[in-house]
Amino acid sequence: MTEQAYLLLLALADGRQHGYGLVGAVRELSGGSVQLGAGTLYGNLDRMLAAGLIDLDGEEVVDGRARRYYRLTPDGLRAVRARTQELAALAARAQRALDGARFLGPEALGGNA
C-alpha cells in the first residue's frame, strides 16, 4: 500500500468525505508533506474502489459541480488497521536499532576530531 493510499484510507476512517476534503485531510495527516493533485487523488480512489476498500457514499451538486462522497468498507478498515500495525512495529524496531546504535564521530567518517 502506498503512503498516499494509506493516508486516504486513514482520512476516511474519520467518516465519509468528498475529494477536496480528502486532499485537506491527507495534507493535515501528513504534516503537510503529502500534497495530492487531482490525478493522483482520483487515480488512488479509482484503484481503492476497484479493490473494494472504499465505496461511493452519495453525490451532491455544489456550485454547479458534482461532489462525490466516499467511505471506507469493512475491508478498507481492516487494511488501514493492518497497515497501521505494520508501521507501529516498524517504528518500534527502528527505535530499538537507534537505541543500540553507537555514535560515529567525525573520526569514524574520516574527518578530523
Query: What tens digit of pLDDT does each residue of 11-37 get?
Result: 999 999 999 999 999 999 999 999 998
* Residue partners of 6: CB distance under 8 A and separation at least 6: 80, 83
Other Cβ atoms within 10 Å of 83 Cβ, number: 16
**What mean pLDDT do residues 91-113 have?**
74
Domain 3-99, CATH = 1.10.10.10
Q: Tell which residue, 77, 87, 83, 79, has the closest CA to residue 14.
A: 77
How far the first Cα of the chain sits from its last, in Å, is: 44
Other Cβ atoms within 10 Å of 66 Cβ, number: 9
Query: What tens digit of pLDDT does each residue of 49-72 get?
Result: 999 999 999 998 888 888 899 999
